[in-house]
Chain A
Amino acid sequence: MAAIAPPRAGARRAPAPASPSRRRPFRLRASLVPWAFLAPALILFTLFKFVPMARAIEMGFYEVRPYLGDRWVGADNYRQVVTDDTFLAAIWHTVVLAVGQTAGSIVIGLVLALLVEGQARSLWFVRTAVFLPTVAAMAVVAEVWRILYYPAPDGAINSILGWVGIGPSQFLNSQDTSLWSVMAVGIWRGAPYDMMIFIAGLAGVDRTLYEASSVDGANGWRRLWHVTFPALRPVFAILFTLAAIRGMRVFTEIFLLTNGGPNGSTEVLMTLIYKLGLERNELGVAAAGSVVLLLATVVLTLAVQYARSRRADR
């Protein structure tokens, strides 16, 4: 739940000046007031966001050697990130996971939203129950799913699969199924969040359009396609951005479900960076990996923003 889009970032209104009628003469004290109120936030952001970011960029160019002094290695660390097989595999897994979880959550979230839209009290109960996975801490979700995925035939999910004659599956324990199993957990936790956003979006659809479309004889599917989905377009855009950004930095669920295994089949960028940096002390390479991840996030965010503003202009 960490990443939430900024409220109306682009279209910010200028705040009303404190006294519009008579301009007070410039006073140092008065001009310092806003900065005093901003100081705590700016100091914390600087210390724990901007300084680490600058450090990451700097460290990416060095071989970091505690006690011996850092050695400048130019672009070597970056070269390793974009050519090394382990990194390439991790990048691939990250992309597959991000795309799969994003698409899966949006599609299932939309279906859920359509099913549970409405005013009835019973629907409120269903919505609340379905939303719970999103509220639970990721660590709890991961531990519960490890148990559900218990690979013995009498494990919870395997029992359910057994009723319909499938399995048993190894889930997290086999490199053929591990990535998909992790993805399913991500979708299970992500879809209800998307559902709630879609429901909010659905509430904004003009009801008279539904009426008009049924007067015109449109069936349910055409009405969804021509009235509902176009109205939800901004919601799709924002959900896509959020999920893609969240997908890139996926760490906790992998760390707890598989820790990259078996045999590297679920290793993503963040788990690899974590291992390199904090377990093998290759801080320079790890920092370069972080910078690549950061750049990807920035590019993706700006690209979506740009695409949206262009569409809004037209």
Chain B
Amino acid sequence: MTASRHDTALGFADRPGPAARVARLVVYTALVLVFAGPLLALLVSSFGKVHDPSSLTIIPRDFTLDNFRAAIRQDVLRYLTNSFIVAGGGLLLQILVSISAAYALARKRFPGLRLVFLLILSTMMLPEEILAIPLSLVLADVPVVHVNLIGSLVGMIVPVGAWAFSILVMTEFMREIPVELEEAARLDGAGDLRIFWSVVMPLCRPALGVIGIFGFNMIWDQYMLPLLVAQDSAQFTLPLALRSLRADEQVGVGVVLAAALLALLPSVIAFLGFQRQFMRGLTSGAVKG
């Protein structure tokens, strides 16, 4: 590792002098405070005594669990459970749908392949927000089967089952798996389902991490869909519940902070745990274009 001065765009020295060291420390501290500070304040304040919004602080004092106790009295655990049911169910469905579709897109050649590909791509321009109004009608009376999904967690799970990003990342990955493995299995008399399940699937495990973490974050961040589906607080997900907790005069800021922290932690933990996969997904998704 020589000439490391040429390793970064700004040409940082490998062993900076004391002045440069201090300057960089100041800059990095400022960056961390600006971007992570508000979330750190959420963490610290939710464990402290909170009277009004000006009590927000990043300096711990008066440790107490009162905010969480009060939050539990406000049914926050039920909202958290709802969120986990939606995230778990939605993610499972999304992964199954994605690998199944990706298998066809990556390993098969059939008339209409290009059209299907374009259709899946085009759904990226059709987010829940833009479709909100007609989507709420469709959810109230799903075509063909005529089921009403309004007021049921199923209505928040099924629509996120198919996600173009997941399918495309998976397709990209499956194309890299050597054909020989599949052919060998086929010569041994394995059918498509068999090959899919015992040859292709096990080789896709690294990509499963990528679509898993992205899918989880995508579902956890859902707002419009739960907003359309939930009829009363019994179906609220935690992100959805934050607004009504805040709007309720009887509920203090401390409860909102505690609930917000509970809504924040799963996505942060998932991100920290799957950071490598997350970065792979970011680059495979965005940079290759």
Contact = CB atoms under 8 A, between A and B. Distances in A.
A and B form one complex: yes
Interface of A: 1-9, 12-19, 31, 33-35, 37-38, 40-42, 44-45, 47-53, 55-56, 59, 112, 114-119, 122-123, 126, 128-133, 135-140, 143-148, 150, 152, 154-156, 188, 192, 196-197, 200-202, 204-205, 207-208, 210-211, 214, 220, 223-224, 227-228, 234-235, 237-239, 242, 245, 249, 251-252, 255-256, 270, 273-274, 277-278, 283, 286-287, 290, 293-294, 297-298, 301, 308
Interface residues of B, number: 113
B159 A33 contact: no
B123 A49 contact: yes
B220 A200 contact: no
Contacts of B279: 196, 200
Nearest to B3: A211
* Best-buried of A147, A290, A308 by chain B (most CB within 10 Å): A147
Nearest to B137: A55
Interface of B: 3, 5-12, 27-28, 31-32, 34-36, 38-39, 41-42, 52-54, 56, 96-98, 100-101, 103-110, 113, 116-117, 119-121, 123-127, 129-138, 142-144, 158-159, 161-162, 164-165, 167-169, 171-172, 175, 179, 182-183, 186, 192, 196, 214, 217-218, 220-221, 223-224, 228, 239-240, 242-243, 246, 253, 256-257, 260, 263-264, 267-268, 271-272, 275, 279, 281-289
20 contacts: A1-B221, A4-B165, A4-B285, A12-B117, A15-B109, A37-B103, A45-B119, A48-B159, A51-B134, A118-B8, A133-B35, A138-B239, A140-B260, A143-B243, A147-B256, A197-B283, A200-B282, A242-B286, A297-B125, A297-B130
A148 B263 CA distance: 18
A82 B127 CA distance: 22
Given A41-B101, A140-B42, A144-B38, 14 more contacts: A3-B124, A7-B172, A35-B104, A40-B162, A41-B98, A47-B159, A53-B134, A59-B133, A117-B10, A140-B239, A202-B8, A238-B287, A249-B129, A294-B126
Contact of B158 (A9, A42, A48): A48
A311 to B, nearest CB: 12
Given A44-B158, A122-B28, A2 B107 contact: no
Contact of B138 (A6, A18, A52, A277): A52
A270 B287 CA distance: 29
B133 A273 contact: yes
B35 A132 contact: yes
Nearest to A56: B134
A200 B36 contact: no
A126 B35 CA distance: 10
B56 A256 contact: no
B223 A298 contact: no
Contact of A192 (B35, B192, B268): B35
A270 B129 contact: yes
Given A44-B158, A145-B38, A210-B11, A154 B54 contact: yes
A-B complex: 10 closest residue pairs judged by Cβ atoms: A139-B239, A55-B134, A44-B162, A150-B53, A4-B285, A37-B104, A41-B101, A277-B133, A52-B134, A34-B104
Given A41-B101, A48-B159, A115-B10, A31 B110 contact: yes
Nearest to A126: B28
B125 A15 contact: no
Given A278-B136, A290-B133, A245 B125 contact: yes
Contacts of B161: 40, 44
A218 to B, nearest CB: 10
Contact of A130 (B9, B32, B256): B32
Interface of chain B: mostly helix, strand, loop or mixed: helix
A201 B287 contact: yes
Given A16-B179, A37-B101, A207-B7, A137 B221 contact: yes
Given A13-B175, A41-B97, A41-B162, A251 B129 contact: yes
A136 B39 contact: yes
